[in-house]
Amino acid sequence: MIEEEVLKIIKPTEEDKKGIEKVLEIIRERLNKLDFEVEGSFRKGTWLRQDTDIDVFVFYPKDVGKEYLERNALNDIINRIKDLDYTLAYAEHPYVIVNINNVEVDIVPALRVESGDKAITAVDRTPFHTKYVTSHLDERGKDEVRLLKRFMKGIGVYGAELKVQGFSGYATELLIIYYGNFRKVLEEASKWKHPIKIELTKPMKIFSEPLIIPDPVDPKRNVTAAVSLKNIATFSIAAKYYLKNPSIEFFFPSKKVEEKVKGDVLILRLNLDEKSSEDIVWGQIKRSVNKIERALKQYGFRVIDVQAWGDTNNITIAVQLESKNIGQYYLNIGPQYYSETIEDFIQKNDNIWVGEDGRLYSIKERKEYDAETIAKKNIVLKVKYNIESYWLQNTEDQQIMKFLRKTPTWLK
Amino acid sequence: MIEEEVLKIIKPTEEDKKGIEKVLEIIRERLNKLDFEVEGSFRKGTWLRQDTDIDVFVFYPKDVGKEYLERNALNDIINRIKDLDYTLAYAEHPYVIVNINNVEVDIVPALRVESGDKAITAVDRTPFHTKYVTSHLDERGKDEVRLLKRFMKGIGVYGAELKVQGFSGYATELLIIYYGNFRKVLEEASKWKHPIKIELTKPMKIFSEPLIIPDPVDPKRNVTAAVSLKNIATFSIAAKYYLKNPSIEFFFPSKKVEEKVKGDVLILRLNLDEKSSEDIVWGQIKRSVNKIERALKQYGFRVIDVQAWGDTNNITIAVQLESKNIGQYYLNIGPQYYSETIEDFIQKNDNIWVGEDGRLYSIKERKEYDAETIAKKNIVLKVKYNIESYWLQNTEDQQIMKFLRKTPTWLK
């Protein structure tokens, strides 16, 4: 069976576990006498073999406050590991990434609170998530989570980061806890229609998002608040198609794709100078994609699709139009002949005529009719960047090919 | 004053009248012993100097019926004038056109009925119109009609024929009878907002047309039923602008116009083989213009304007598009992810993706994306014709220049 084959690939071996434990030993020594805990999927036993980032949380009394975490706590941690290969990273507040034997250990300062709903910073809730999951999942359940994670990765809906707007690890764990196993999650998801409510606990707030999973450790929070409707829909469709015709392609899409250019496709290659946090860059990229699409439509272009991909430094935005030639002039619809505004219309317009419907019409010149200029003007990046843009002729680039093909290989 | 100047040009002299009377003498001799009458604007004294077609009606007892008119009556008339320069013409039924000294005399067989509302054929009402107008217009009134006719000719809204869909001579006479004089008609028309009701008599039917003038001699008929909203609106706007700034340009538009090509303009030159009645040809041309516009829009083109001009044999249709390049492919919007139809959509489509709104989208190929082909396919002429078509580059043709300029010279 496919799921067993997949598990063979994604389930870590005892050896994998030992390798990570060895790395953790080093970290444990360094954090000696601090109040620290291993969190995340490694601790919960839901990690995938390929995933090699481990979360270690260092807790401080809640009274020290956020500022203390960001300065004193962080400095203390850095002092303890500064001889190792480390970098600083930023989420809601800064944390340290240490790289040992290609295992990435995130050391995150957090506040020790009494319960999940008392969290002061977003990370304070994490130990309660860990407790909830470990106490609700048995060994088989952990494998079911692994299957669900890999499935979601395969179809591109896994990851809470802004770039993906997908499902978090915790969300996959709650789905398995609620529905029981991977297959059952798919069966239910294949029937989803938003708003979808999955209540392991009664919500303590009215949520407006399409997928609502109130956090069992903090029911005024929706665990899947940031999952986009696009990802919910994609997951639902993939679930339906997998159940009808299971295939490894859902978990590990590998088919090379090929497709010709349909319509006019503008490729914008952005190169960002500074190193910024991924969520900040992708927040701006997502906003740019939306602005480009809206502006092009407003200027009269028929937009087929606008997508962005890449990492934090090299980003491609692809803009697909039915045609880049919309003409320099457009039909302007004016008032009815009996309107008080006709004199104003006649004065301000040229090429005016009366239509069969009794309205005045005129021809107006577009303020802008070059799609490339409009697209470039609507990129809203706050960091410096270089841009290269061209109208696509043909390509070997697999990412562009995927953009042109659109249809996921697991679908058709 | 402008109106006096115009009258000097358009009011026939005694000499003009004598010339026509001389022609009528010849006709009167030929129709000896028949029950005939001079009708039309010459009889009513509302004719313009340049207009040289005279209506002579020959009446038959109403019991003879339509068939008799079309055969026996017509043959009798032809026999009486066959040595003259004549042709046959067709309206609701056939009539004879005789040309004497460049004066065109229409000899129309009609049925003698007791009153206008008893008319069997459309022309039977005519003698009652003549009586009504002559008994309600004095000499000054006749000149006011002349001014109104010339004004309407100048702005292009005069003529009951299908090609124009404008005001008939009788309609202009009724407007002057109702409002008193040319200026007063303009003052009222400048304030029009349809439906407009001008009741010299109570209507005996509920009319749905934008301009309603119940016929005083047959109140279940709307005299202006065939006037298009476009012509009503044009007349109303012209009235407003003339009153603000009177100019000879309204009566005799003479300015040469020049304008560049905006958008993509397709010129279709039609050459009709057979000689058909103008109303029949223009009925088909109007239908073609509408069909071309509708089809182009349906195929995705943005149409600025489609117009036709010409006579009964040589007709030009001009099609102005924002751009002739709409691209070979278009965005196809599919169902929501939870719809039962998604499997069908996925099976039938290619290049499928899930949008941010949870809908499926796909790229489809247009069945037709050549505007020239679409335009040609939608010409619905029942007579044989040759066609020549080209995308306009530049032109010296004043008709095309007017089409490009659109704004009437009297407006701006």
Q: Which residues of B377-398 are buried (b: 16+ CB within 10 A; e: fewer)?
A: ebbebeeebeeeeeebeebeee
Can you tell me the mean pLDDT for B164-179?
A: 98
Q: Answer yes or no: is pLDDT of B213 > 80.
A: yes
Can you tell me the mean pLDDT for A254-277?
A: 92
Q: Given the DSSP bridges, would you call strands B314-321 and A359-365 parallel, antiparallel or unpaired?
A: unpaired
**Contact call for residues A328 and A366 (beta carbons, < 8 A):** yes
Q: Answer yes or no: is pLDDT of B336 > 80.
A: yes
Instruction: Give A167-194 pLDDT, tens digit per residue.
Output: 999 999 999 999 999 999 999 999 999 9
Q: Report the candidate in A161, A186, A192, A187 with the shortest Cα–Cα distance to residue A172.
A: A186
**In chain B, what residues touch A237 (CB-CB under 8 Å)?**
337, 342, 354, 360
Band of pLDDT at residue B307, cut at 50, 70 and 90: very high
Rg (CA), chain B: 26
Give CA–CA dist B393/B400, Å, rounded.
11
Give CA–CA dist B235/B248, Å, rounded.
16
Q: What percent of chain B has pLDDT over 90?
A: 91
Give CA–CA dist A394/A265, Å, rounded.
10
A336 touching B, CB under 8 A?
yes
**Contact call for residues B148 and B137 (beta carbons, < 8 A):** no
Give CA–CA dist A77/A96, Å, rounded.
8
ipTM of the complex, rounded to two decimals: 0.94
Domain boundaries, chain B: 12-129, 137-251, 264-326+368-405, 329-365
Show which of residues 265-304 on chain B sit within 8 Å of chain A, judged by CB atoms. 300, 302-304
Inter-chain Cβ pairs, chain A and chain B, closer than 8 A:
166
Instruction: Find tokens 């010279």 and name the residue.
Output: B409
Residues sharing a CB contact under 8 Å with residue A264, sequence separation 6 or more, in sequence order: A320, A321, A322, A323, A324, A371, A391, B327
Facing residue for A326 by CB, picked from B304, B322, B329? B322
* DSSP state, residue A64: G
Show which of residues 155-194 on chain A sit within 8 Å of chain B, judged by CB atoms. 191-194
Question: H helices of B49-197, where?
Answer: 65-68, 74-81, 126-136, 139-155, 169-179, 182-189
Q: Answer yes or no: is pLDDT of A254 > 90.
A: no
When scoring B231, B235, B320, B351 by the number of chain A Cβ atoms within 10 A, the one with the most, hence best to mutate, is: B351
Band of pLDDT at residue B92, cut at 50, 70 and 90: confident
Q: Answer yes or no: is pLDDT of A235 > 90.
A: yes
Q: What are phi and psi of B198, to 5 degrees?
A: -120, 100
B357 touching A, CB under 8 A?
yes
Write the CA distances from A261 to A319, A403, B324, integer angstroms: 12, 10, 20
Give CA–CA dist A269/A311, Å, rounded.
12
pLDDT at B254: 87
**In chain B, what residues touch A359 (CB-CB under 8 Å)?**
233
Give CA–CA dist B280/A219, Å, rounded.
76
**What CATH superfamily classification does B264-326+368-405 receive?**
Poly(A) polymerase predicted RNA binding domain (3.30.70.590)
Length of chain A: 412
CA B18 to the chain's CA centroid: 31
B94 touching A, CB under 8 A?
no
Fold classification of B137-251 (topology level): Poly(a)-polymerase, middle domain (1.10.1410)
What CATH code is assigned to A12-114? 3.30.460.10
Can you tell me the mean pLDDT for B233-244?
A: 98
Instruction: Give A296-341 pLDDT, tens digit per residue.
Output: 999 999 999 999 999 999 999 999 999 999 999 999 999 999 999 9
pLDDT at B13: 95
Per-chain mean pLDDT for chain A = 95
A322 touching B, CB under 8 A?
yes
Can you tell me the mean pLDDT for A348-376?
A: 97
Band of pLDDT at residue A269, cut at 50, 70 and 90: very high
Q: Answer yes or no: is pLDDT of B79 > 80.
A: yes
Give the CB-side neighbour count of residue B304, counting CA atoms within 13 A: 31
Show which of residues 219-248 on chain B sit within 8 Å of chain A, judged by CB atoms. 228-230, 232-234, 236-237, 240
**Contact call for residues A262 and A215 (beta carbons, < 8 A):** no
Give CA–CA dist B60/B35, Å, rounded.
7
**In chain B, what residues touch A192 (CB-CB under 8 Å)?**
337-338
Measured CA angle at B160 (ends B104, B180), to 5 deg: 100
Can you tell me the mean pLDDT for B347-351?
A: 97
pLDDT at A174: 98
pLDDT at A23: 95
B326 touching A, CB under 8 A?
yes
Q: What are phi and psi of B374, to 5 degrees?
A: -60, -45
Q: Under an 8 A CB cutoff, do A358 and B406 touch?
A: no
Facing residue for B363 by CB, picked from A262, A325, A328? A262
Residues sharing a CB contact under 8 Å with residue A197, sequence separation 6 or more, in sequence order: A203, A212
Can you tell me the mean pLDDT for B162-166?
A: 97
**What CATH superfamily classification does B12-129 receive?**
Beta Polymerase, domain 2 (3.30.460.10)
Instruction: Find tokens 């003052």 and name the residue.
Output: B187
Residues facing B320 on adjacent strands: B265, B305
pLDDT at B1: 87
Helix, strand, coil shares of chain A as percentages rounded to 5? 40, 25, 35
How far does the CA of residue A231 sit from the closest CA of chain B (Å)?
8
Instruction: Find tokens 């990370």 and name the residue.
Output: A123
Q: Given the DSSP bridges, would you call strands A385-391 and A359-365 parallel, antiparallel or unpaired?
A: unpaired
Q: Answer yes or no: is pLDDT of A274 > 80.
A: no
Give CA–CA dist A57/A111, Å, rounded.
9
pLDDT at A343: 97
Band of pLDDT at residue B47, cut at 50, 70 and 90: very high
Write the CA distances from B65 to A344, B72, B119, B279, integer angstroms: 57, 11, 12, 24
Per-chain mean pLDDT for chain B = 95
When scoring B236, B302, B354, B361 by the number of chain A Cβ atoms within 10 A, the one with the most, hence best to mutate, is: B354
